[in-house]
Amino acid sequence: MAQDKDNKKVNNDEAVSPEESLYDEMVGSAREIAEEFAEGDLSREELLRREAERKKEREMEAIRADIERRYTQEVDEAIKKADIAAGVEKPEPKTAKLDEMIDLGAFSNDPGKNVRRSKKKKAKKRKKRPVEYIELEEKSPLYYFIYSLGDAVSHFITSAGGDLLALLFVPFVKLRNSVKDSVTSRRMSSGGRRKRLGEEAKTFRSEIHSSVGNIIKSLRHPLSTPAVIWHYFKKAVDRHTLLLKTIGNIALPVISVIILIFVFSYWKNVTFALKVIYNDESIGYISDESVFIEAKEMVMDRLRSNSITSEQTTQAAGNLNAGYELAVVSYDELNDARTISDKMIENSAENLTHACGIYIDDRFICAVKNEADAKTVFYNILAPYEEQAQANGYVVGFLQEIDYVQGLYRDEDDVMWDASDLETYINTHNMINIKKSVSTSEVVEVPYATVTTRDVTKYSGYRVVRQQGVYGKKRVTTTQVYIDDILSNTYSVDEVLIAPTEEIIVVGTKTTYGGVYIGQASSMGFLWPAPHCHYISSPYGWRSSGWHKGVDLCTNNGTARGTPVIASRSGVVEVVQHSSSGYGNMILINHGDGYKTRYAHLLEGSITVRMGEVVEGGKTIGRVGSTGTSSGPHRPFEVIYNGETQNPVNFIS
């Protein structure tokens, strides 16, 4: 029994296909190489060399297998053609070529496995029920035509079609297998790679110390130093390739980022500019040509001033054209038009120097080399007046406008003066006047404005203050200007401190009240108290019987009796009197703003209001009569303001 098992095992071993044997041999070889490399018996270079040889062997075996597959395939195709002609087997579909290529190992790393899969598929095909075909007579012309056509198509598919598919897919499969092998190799060697990096780092540090010592020793013979350095450099590259590559992979991105930051920082602070070449000399940098054009205009303006004659201007100006060169400069190196104009004048005219020009009311006086000396001259003139101004609280200064202009001026006696010459010239020609400004201020009230709003729904006597007016305040500053102690001008400046609040009054506009025409209220808001009595029989003031406190209103034809008497303004009835003497029947209305009105000699039984009643302006409160001390029917009307009688005509006109 054991012998049978051994024989069976031997028979099974002998039944292994060549492709399976090759695959097992390659796997075993790869495992041995990996174990040797992991144990450190193989160097990295030896490992790569063996891997290359193994890959070359695989490619040669693949080529051999492909040739055998093609030969086998053509034989099979010839057998199939014969079977088809005999009507035994169904013709294979057009995709059979591609299936056979896949089964024969063209797209797999295990050719033996694919061969076994191909045999299984063929066995399944033979078990299938054969397809019935149309039986044709072998000797008929149609039979030979179809047989020849099928043979040609089959030959094309098995030869040209197969070659085309192999040409397209075999390189892809080889690339895939190569990548897979590379990944597997990297996974197997990842642990060893880290270990080797650590060992190389230790060795590299020790070699650096020794090589530095030898290089220092070689400095005794300088001619040999480059060769020594080159020797150690090549040695480091050959021995520590993995370490140097790792350092490069880390250092190069960092260096690239640093370079990028440096480039960005540099270009952030610089700009493109034009280098101005004037009279074969560089005089500065400008942002664009418009700066130079402006500088040319400034040169001509300055050369035309009183400090330089027209002949010198022409000579100095010369040819103001310039050349340009493109340059990269920092922003601080750019020049403005004034600086360029100064440099152009320096390169154009002779006998010019920098100085401070003195201008009085835009008139050129002279140039002083030191601006501080020129200002001292004017300070000494004004100093005595400033002491008095500080003591008395006013301001002093020069009437004229003094300008100090730095620039280029001719260094000649008629232009360039000393400070003493300037002071003498000013005092001799009375060039300066002293202006004294004396200011006083006070706070005054600002009156408020009155705005009258008319309400068409109210009667003409209606008058209500909707918003009380409030006085404002302002500061009035009055300034007196003296020129050499003589008053020249006076002006005032107002500064509003508190704005006034306007008064808003609402008045009615209806002219008829209860069927009685009441007319329009006056500007003071009072109605005519007796609409039918338009005649003043006795005015306000002195008369033969004494001081008359009001006015008597009546008609000129004696028809006043019984006509309506209306409230002149809205208010509260304060007094209702029934008497046969004095005022007779009388009403007194308080209007609430210091004003009161009195209506006397009313007709007996005509009073329609009571004390404390609120009445609107225009409402009928009684009728014209002659009760009390009276010479006949009339309407006495008084206006009282803060207890003092006023002339009613001023309120009701």
- Whether residue 212 has pLDDT greater than 60: yes
Q: What CATH number does residue 459 fall under? A: 2.20.230.10
Of 423, 462, 429, 446, give the one whose Cα is nearest residue 567. 462
Last residue of a domain, one of 402, 432, 462: 432
Q: Inter-axis angle of helices 18-39 and 44-86, to 10 degrees?
A: 170
Same-domain status, 554 and 456: no
Last residue of a domain, one of 504, 519, 547: 504
For residue 4, what pLDDT is reported? 46
Q: Which residue has the higher pLDDT, 244 or 152?
A: 244
**Any idea which of 121-125, 283-287, 422-426, 612-616 has the lowest mean pLDDT?**
121-125
Q: What percent of the chain has pLDDT over 90?
A: 21
State pLDDT tens for residues 375-430.
Answer: 999 999 999 999 888 888 899 999 999 999 887 777 788 888 999 999 999 988 88
Asked whether residue 215 is domain-assigned, the answer is no
> Within 10 Å of residue 315's Cβ, how many Cβ atoms?
14
Same-domain status, 534 and 496: no
State pLDDT tens for residues 252-281.
Answer: 888 888 888 888 888 888 888 999 988 778
Sequence-distant (≥ 6) Cβ neighbours of residue 462 within 8 angstroms = 455, 506, 507, 508, 570, 616, 617, 618
Same-domain status, 262 and 282: no
Same-domain status, 312 and 399: no
d(CA 459, CA 448): 27
DSSP codes, 174-200? HHHHHHHHHHHHHHHHHHHHHHHHHHH
The band of 611, judged by pLDDT with boundaries at 50, 70 and 90, is very high
Q: Please compute the mean of the pLDDT values over residues 290-318 and round it to a whole number.
A: 63
**3-class state of residue 476 by DSSP:** strand
- Whether residue 645 has pLDDT greater than 60: yes
Q: How many structural domains is the chain composed of?
A: 6
Same-domain status, 259 and 328: no
For residue 26, what pLDDT is reported? 61
Q: Which long-range contacts (CB under 8 A, 24 or more apart) does 113-119 make?
A: 113/20, 114/19, 115/17, 115/19, 115/20, 116/17
Last residue of a domain, one of 462, 477, 504: 504
Of 464, 453, 458, give the one whose Cα is nearest residue 509. 458
- Whether residue 250 has pLDDT greater than 70: yes
Asked whether residue 411 is domain-assigned, the answer is yes
Same-domain status, 406 and 464: no
- Whether residue 458 has pLDDT greater than 60: yes
- Whether residue 37 has pLDDT greater than 80: no
Same-domain status, 457 and 322: no
Q: How far is CA 565 from CA 547, 612, 619, 638, in A?
A: 24, 18, 8, 13
Of 295, 294, 285, 297, give the one whose Cα is nearest residue 324. 285
Q: Which residue has the higher pLDDT, 16 or 260?
A: 260
Q: Which residue has the higher pLDDT, 576 or 22?
A: 576
Six-digit token pair at 24?
A: 């097992």
- Whether residue 371 has pLDDT greater than 50: yes
**Any idea which of 184-188, 367-371, 397-401 has the lowest mean pLDDT?**
184-188
Asked whether residue 423 is domain-assigned, the answer is yes
Q: Please report the beta strands in 348-433, taking only residues with DSSP state E, as ranges in sequence order.
A: 352-360, 363-368, 395-398, 402-410
Of 538, 515, 512, give the one whose Cα is nearest residue 527. 512
How many angstroms separate the first and last alpha carbons of the chain? 156
Mean pLDDT of the chain: 76
SS (H, E, C) 501-545: ECEEEEEEEECEECCEECCCCCCCCCCCCCCCCCEEEECCEEECC
CA angle 441, 444, 450 (to 5 degrees): 150
d(CA 87, CA 91): 10
d(CA 218, CA 234): 17
Strands 281-286 and 270-278: antiparallel
DSSP codes, 619-636? -EEEEBB--SS-SSSBEE
Q: Inter-axis angle of helices 44-86 and 162-218, to 10 degrees?
A: 180
State pLDDT tens for residues 155-164.
Answer: 555 555 555 5
Same-domain status, 134 and 66: yes
- Is-contact 165 98, C-beta < 8 A? yes
User: Residue 153: left (phi > 0), alpha (psi -120 to 50), or beta?
Assistant: alpha
Asked whether residue 128 is domain-assigned, the answer is yes
Asked whether residue 30 is domain-assigned, the answer is yes
State pLDDT tens for residues 590-603.
Answer: 998 899 999 998 99
Q: Please compute the mean of the pLDDT values over residues 505-533 and round it to a whole number.
A: 82
Same-domain status, 163 and 262: no
Question: What range does the domain containing 52 cover?
Answer: 13-192
What is the longest distance spanned by two Cα atoms in the chain? 178
Same-domain status, 86 and 234: no
Of 23, 301, 55, 346, give the one whose Cα is nearest residue 182. 55
Q: Please compute the mean of the pLDDT values over residues 36-49 and round it to a whole number.
A: 66
For residue 142, what pLDDT is reported? 56
Sequence-distant (≥ 6) Cβ neighbours of residue 394 within 8 angstroms = 436, 437, 438, 439
Asked whether residue 318 is domain-assigned, the answer is yes
User: What letter would DSSP give residue 602?
Assistant: B
- Is-contact 425 474, C-beta < 8 A? no
Q: What CATH number does residue 518 fall under? A: 2.70.70.10
Six-digit token pair at 169?
A: 């897919």
**Any idea which of 19-33, 559-573, 588-602 has the lowest mean pLDDT?**
19-33
Q: Inter-axis angle of helices 96-103 and 162-218, to 10 degrees?
A: 40
**Any idea which of 56-70, 264-278, 580-594 has the lowest mean pLDDT?**
56-70
Phi, psi of 596 (to 5 degrees): -135, 150
Same-domain status, 292 and 321: yes
For residue 472, what pLDDT is reported? 94
Asked whether residue 5 is domain-assigned, the answer is no
Six-digit token pair at 607?
A: 């009073």
**Any idea which of 15-24, 54-63, 249-258, 640-649 has the lowest mean pLDDT?**
15-24
Same-domain status, 308 and 405: no
Where are the alpha helices (H) located in 393-495, listed in sequence order?
A: 419-429
Residue 91 burial class via C-beta count within 10 angstroms: exposed 0-12, middle 13-18, buried 19 and up = middle
Q: Which residue has the higher pLDDT, 67 or 383?
A: 383
**Any idea which of 140-154, 208-222, 413-427, 485-499 has the lowest mean pLDDT?**
140-154
For residue 113, what pLDDT is reported? 47
Asked whether residue 200 is domain-assigned, the answer is no
For residue 106, what pLDDT is reported? 43
